[in-house]
């Protein structure tokens, strides 16, 4: 259920350089409090006294302790990775500034040609390649070694590296074009660049969102139409019942990279599509798939993608205002040392990357909370649309393979971009408790 990953990836790339927006990769820093232990009952009673809390506990104890400890460790490690990413990229950007490498990359770009837009593109290319190389060991650890260690990855090193290089190429070319536009704006509008820069970034993000499902996503995975009528038809029926005119459901061959069960809504305007991944298809019952697709349709019907643009639009404008203040202050203090004198000087780009990375790092809980609230809305919509509370609970347990099932309330508030397993299962059991008469003879 990682519907915004492409959009967030692009926003992050736009604002922070290739891989520095740590909040996209995981969930934020902090150790987790041990999960609260709650009394457990052994079965789900199907009487008028159906107790949603007890039913929730009954689901949660189905996970063997060793599996639970493993997924808790995986997820909590992700909190620390956010911190390590932030610290690593901070160090890399400072290194580029303090050692004068950034100034040298600018000088090199200027020696090649006198055409300014090409300077920007050449500088950007060096910047992306160099920062990626410096961050490569951490990337290998967190995206390859660690994923394999927890049994979540399926790729061998060669294809994994191939995907990384594709991402690098996209960052060089696509974001390079944005950088050319942004630097043209900064140089022509020295006082108001931050407003126009924010607008240009927003337009670029919107464009990226439109083209992502059609041109970007297929570079990494195959998308095929779901043909099996036993699965497709109930999904399309639910779509029609909820006013969605979708004719197709798409399947992503995510098993190429991962064992995770997932589905998402991607795209914008006419490129919007509902996608489920092949792991979900292989491992879940039709009822479970329906419950997931009900959730995804919730995102669609409640226009979450448009709300995202509004939310991120505001944060992009605020982010650029912060960039302006922060860059003027830092360049006034250290610009001479760094041989980066004005905001329009390419040598100052690592400073912008540093500021925006800090901005996102600090706002991590806000992004998570924004996302989690929408995910909860989609859960509620999905329960009403699919009417499969027990299937929903089973899927929540499967998602618990890579997301800690039972976080403490503060931990969930700060670090979860989706509700925790307990919250989601409880919502399903609460729904069930209020619909017992209608569900009478099901499952």
- Name the residues that contact Zn ion, by CB under 5 A: 1, 375, 378
Q: Min. distance of Cβ 45 from Zn ion in angstroms?
A: 30
Q: Min. distance of Cβ 293 from Zn ion in angstroms?
A: 11
Q: In angstroms, rounded to a whole number, what is the distance separating the alpha carbons of residues 216 and 222?
A: 11
Token pair, residue 245, equals 């005119």
Give the angle subtended at the CA of 406 by the CAs of 390 and 430, to the nearest 5°: 35
Q: Which is nearer to Zn ion, 1 or 16 (CB)?
A: 1
Q: Min. distance of Cβ 237 from Zn ion in angstroms?
A: 21
Q: What are phi and psi of 113, to 5 degrees?
A: -155, 165
Q: Min. distance of Cβ 276 from Zn ion in angstroms?
A: 12
- Taking CB atoms, the residue at the shortest distance from Zn ion is 1
Rg (the chain; Cα; Å): 23
Give the angle subtended at the CA of 405 by the CAs of 151 and 443, to the nearest 5°: 95
Q: Which is nearer to Zn ion, 76 or 308 (CB)?
A: 308
Q: In angstroms, rounded to a whole number, what is the distance separating the alpha carbons of residues 106 and 340?
A: 10
String of DSSP letters for 37-61: P----SS---STT--HHHHHHHHHT
Token pair, residue 374, equals 């929408």
Strand order in the sheet with 273-277: 223-225, 250-252, 273-277, 263-266
Classify strands 263-266 and 223-225 as parallel, antiparallel or unpaired.
unpaired
Q: Which is nearer to Zn ion, 109 or 275 (CB)?
A: 275
Q: Min. distance of Cβ 418 from Zn ion in angstroms?
A: 7
Residue 13 CA, distance from chain mean position: 12
Q: Which is nearer to Zn ion, 300 or 361 (CB)?
A: 300
Of 268, 129, 128, which Cα lies nearest the Cα of 202?
A: 268
Q: Min. distance of Cβ 366 from Zn ion in angstroms?
A: 18
Q: Which is nearer to Zn ion, 304 or 422 (CB)?
A: 304
3-class secondary-structure state, position 223: strand
Residue 26 near residue 81, CB atoms below 8 Å: yes
Q: Which is nearer to Zn ion, 147 or 375 (CB)?
A: 375
Give the burial string for 44-69 (b: 16+ CB within 10 Å, else e): beeeeebebebbbbbbbeebeeeebe
Residue 178 near residue 200, CB atoms below 8 Å: yes
Q: Min. distance of Cβ 395 from Zn ion in angstroms?
A: 12
Q: Which is nearer to Zn ion, 29 or 391 (CB)?
A: 391
How far the first Cα of the chain sits from its last, in Å, is: 24
Q: Min. distance of Cβ 295 from Zn ion in angstroms?
A: 6
Q: Which is nearer to Zn ion, 375 or 401 (CB)?
A: 375
Question: How many alpha carbons lie under 13 Å from residue 308 in its C-beta half-sphere?
Answer: 27
Q: Min. distance of Cβ 296 from Zn ion in angstroms?
A: 6
Q: In angstroms, rounded to a whole number, what is the distance separating the alpha carbons of residues 307 and 419?
A: 19
Q: Min. distance of Cβ 264 from Zn ion in angstroms?
A: 7
Q: Which is nearer to Zn ion, 297 or 405 (CB)?
A: 297
DSSP 153: B
Q: Which is nearer to Zn ion, 119 or 398 (CB)?
A: 398
């Amino acid at each position: 259920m990682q519907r915004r990953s492409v959009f967030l990836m692009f926003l992050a790339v736009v604002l922070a350089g290739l891989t520095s927006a740590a909040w996209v990769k995981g969930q934020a820093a902090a150790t987790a409090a041990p999960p609260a232990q709650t009394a457990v009952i052994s079965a789900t009673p199907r009487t008028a006294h159906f107790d949603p809390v007890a039913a929730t506990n009954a689901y949660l104890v189905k996970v063997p302790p060793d599996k639970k400890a493993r997924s808790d460790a995986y997820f909590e490690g992700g909190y620390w990775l956010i911190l390590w990413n932030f610290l690593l990229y901070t160090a890399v950007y400072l290194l580029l500034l303090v050692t004068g490498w950034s100034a040298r990359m600018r000088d090199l770009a200027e020696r090649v040609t006198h055409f300014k837009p090409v300077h920007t593109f050449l500088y950007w290319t060096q910047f992306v390649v160099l920062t990626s190389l410096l961050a490569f060991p951490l990337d290998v650890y967190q995206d390859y070694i660690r994923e394999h260690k927890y049994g979540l990855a399926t790729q061998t090193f060669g294809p994994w590296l191939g995907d990384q290089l594709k991402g690098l190429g996209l960052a060089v070319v696509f974001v390079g074009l944005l950088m050319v536009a942004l630097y043209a704006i900064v140089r022509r509008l020295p006082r108001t660049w931050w407003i126009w820069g924010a607008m240009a970034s927003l337009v670029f993000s919107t464009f990226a969102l439109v083209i992502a499902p059609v041109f970007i996503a297929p570079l990494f995975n195959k998308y095929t139409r779901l043909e099996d009528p036993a699965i497709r038809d109930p999904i399309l029926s639910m779509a029609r019942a909820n006013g969605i005119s979708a004719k197709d459901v798409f399947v992503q061959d995510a098993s190429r990279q991962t064992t995770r069960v997932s589905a998402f809504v991607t795209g914008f305007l006419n490129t919007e599509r509902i996608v489920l991944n092949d792991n979900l298809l292989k491992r879940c019952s039709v009822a479970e798939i329906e419950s997931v697709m009900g959730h995804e349709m919730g995102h669609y019907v409640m226009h979450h993608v448009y709300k995202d643009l509004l939310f991120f639009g505001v944060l992009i404008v605020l982010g650029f205002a912060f960039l302006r203040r922060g860059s003027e202050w830092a360049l006034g203090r250290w610009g001479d040392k760094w041989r980066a004198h004005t905001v329009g000087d390419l040598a100052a780009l690592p400073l912008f990357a540093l500021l925006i990375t800090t901005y996102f790092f600090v706002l991590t809980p806000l992004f998570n909370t924004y996302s989690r609230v929408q995910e909860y809305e989609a859960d509620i919509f999905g329960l009403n649309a699919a009417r499969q509370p027990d299937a929903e609970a089973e899927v929540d347990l499967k998602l618990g393979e890579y997301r800690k099932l039972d976080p403490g309330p503060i931990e969930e508030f700060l670090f979860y971009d989706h509700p925790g397993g307990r919250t989601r299962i409880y919502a399903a059991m609460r729904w069930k408790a209020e619909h017992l008469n209608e569900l009478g003879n099901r499952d």
